[in-house]
Amino acid sequence: MSYSAIPTTPDWYSMDDKILIKAHLKGDKAAFEVLVKKHQASVGRLSYSIMKNNQGVPDVVQNVFLSVFRGLNKFRGDASFKTWLYKITVHETMRYLKKKNRWTSLIDKGSSFPDGSEVTFVVFDNKNSPEHLVLNAQTKALIQEAMSKLSDNHRIVLHLHYQEDLSVQEIAEILEIPIGSVKSRLHYARIQLKELLVPFFETHSSEEGRRHAL
């Protein structure tokens, strides 16, 4: 495959990150644009999940990809590009919030998104095997509200694990914490989210039962 032939159409979703990085380092200007298009929504969602508002997300996303552009020649590939990218995103978001005097450390604190996507899961603690439920718009809004009430530690690990489909090990690398801490935060985040949502589902089940009885 010729690097100069890298598409800038929606086909960029199928392009391998390693190929794009190599093309960028060889001087192909289109390759970096494809990397940005491929990952900017995920970077925006992650930044939003930390800040809980859209106000600074565009600035963070811009700074993230500026850092990536400057640092790609030093990227060794020991971790996946996505893990490296998300670590930069966390640090850039932290730096933005520090400037705004609104940051509480993800590490030291107790143990619709910008692209228009919505949360589509509810996590129930059932032998540590979460259920993924497709939900209506009203329920999705309730889940977003419940997620916003979680601590930074718990909200961010849920987002990375379920929304971005990252492993416990990858999350540990991104947040620079032990794997055991990630597992603990996921466990308690599930419990807290379930406690926040149980009243709604109990009410919903009661209403469904009444409708079927009529």
For the chain, which residues make up each domain, given as ranges?
Answer: 7-99, 137-213
Q: What is the pLDDT of residues 159-202, one digit of tens each?
A: 898 888 899 999 999 999 999 999 999 999 989 888 888 876 66
Q: What is the pTM of this model?
A: 0.66
The hierarchical CATH code for the domain 7-99 is: 1.10.1740.10
Cβ atoms of residues 15 and 34 within 8 Å? yes
Q: Helices marked H in the chain — which ranges?
A: 17-25, 29-51, 57-71, 81-99, 137-148, 152-158, 168-175, 179-213
CA 109 to CA 151: how far, in whole Å?
A: 9
* Fold of the CATH domain 137-213: Arc Repressor Mutant, subunit A (1.10.10)
Q: What is the pLDDT of residues 32-80, one digit of tens each?
A: 999 999 999 999 999 988 887 778 899 999 999 999 999 998 887 777 8
CA 61 to CA 41: how far, in whole Å?
A: 9
Separation in Å, CA 51 to CA 89, 97, 135 = 12, 8, 24
CA 65 to CA 39: how far, in whole Å?
A: 10
